[in-house]
Amino acid sequence: MTKPCNPPDPNTRTPKFKLPANATDAHCHIFGPADKYPFDPNRSYTPQDAGLDLFKKLQGILGLTRAVLVNASCHGVNNDPIIDAIAQSGGAYRGVANIDKSFDEKAIEDLDSKGIRGCRFNFVRHLGGVPDMDEFHLIINRIKQFNWHVVLHFDAVDLVTFEDLLDNLPVPYIIDHMGRVPTKDGLDQRPFQILLEFAKRDNCWIKVCGSERISSMGPPFTDAIPFAKAIIETAPDRVLWGTDWPHPNIKLHMPNDGDLVDLIPLMAETTEIQQKLLVDNPHRLYGFSN
């Protein structure tokens, strides 16, 4: 039996912070609708429908025009939900796929032609834990020739466990949600210090999203700000931001996405850094046209 997910906050408020032109949500999902895009029978959770129409409405409220759609594990390796959304976006969306060893070079080339620019692996325990590492390395070798990157969803402890793996990855990699380091353990905790060391490397990118996931204080999640600021200061040209809408597997405090947008100027305090975080960096990595 899979766990049901809470729906996103239906009352998204208009944020006080005005996003720059062509701002990008670099981490978001499309869920269903299940009658069109059935969920994977082996999924670990079951979300409520949160399809493209709802996402476009969210973007309009927040002031976003670009997006990187990350195919969620509840859809397995069926990437149609994000491929179809990308096709309808007029070039405004890119995607990160879920793939397995059944995807050969031809299949990956086909995904690339449809706007996919990377693949994702979940290591977190609530989504099944460590993937098959032989399959992981096989896929990494296949995506190299397409200049794809790999997105890594870790628990904080994984930053310690898999330090050697990250030392030797032959493709660019993105660490999701600030490595899910718990704010209650402080800036000096070993996983976060390792994350900052990775941030200095040219092939490492980090998403300063998921404040609601790492916060120990709850809304408005301001205890995540020092962590985001430290990451941004370390790698201002390789940081990304996203909503993580519709926030799967949030148990305690479902965030309002307007509140999350209003954390941005507290993390990235100057217009120059905001431009990098929201526009220049994602546009460079994902090949958006200006």
Note if 244 is an active site residue.
yes
pLDDT digits (tens, 9 = 90+) for 17-57: 999 999 999 999 999 899 999 999 989 999 999 999 999 99
Give the pLDDT score at 290.
59
Residue 95 and residue 48: Cα distance in Å, rounded?
Answer: 21
Q: Is residue 16 part of a domain?
A: no
With bands split at pLDDT 50, 70 and 90, how would you rate the model's confidence at 125? confident
Which CATH number is 137's domain given? Answer: 3.20.20.140
227-247 average pLDDT score: 98
DSSP, collapsed to helix, strand or coil, labels residue 217 as coil
Does the pLDDT at position 227 exceed 80? yes
Q: Is residue 208 part of a domain?
A: yes
Q: Is residue 63 part of a domain?
A: yes
Residue 15 and residue 22: Cα distance in Å, rounded?
Answer: 16
Give the pLDDT score at 251.
85
Residue of 25, 244, 257, 280 marked active site: 244
pLDDT digits (tens, 9 = 90+) for 166-217: 999 999 999 999 999 999 999 999 999 999 999 999 999 999 999 999 999 9
Give the pLDDT score at 205.
98
Q: Is residue 17 part of a domain?
A: no
- Walk across the sheet containing 173-175 and list its strands: 24-28, 66-70, 93-97, 116-122, 149-153, 173-175, 204-207, 239-240
Q: Is residue 280 part of a domain?
A: yes
Tokens 């990118």, residue located: 205
The parent domain of residue 229 ranges over 3-11+22-286
Give the pLDDT score at 1.
53
Q: Is residue 150 part of a domain?
A: yes
Q: Is residue 70 part of a domain?
A: yes
Q: Is residue 265 part of a domain?
A: yes
pLDDT digits (tens, 9 = 90+) for 53-110: 999 999 999 999 999 999 999 999 999 999 999 999 999 999 999 999 999 999 999 9
Instruction: Please give the tally of structural domains in the chain.
Output: 1
Give the pLDDT score at 128.
75
CA 71 to chain centre: 10
Does the pLDDT at position 127 exceed 80? no
Better-scored residue on pLDDT, 4 or 290: 4
**103 vs 100, 112, 140, CA distance in Å?**
6, 12, 12
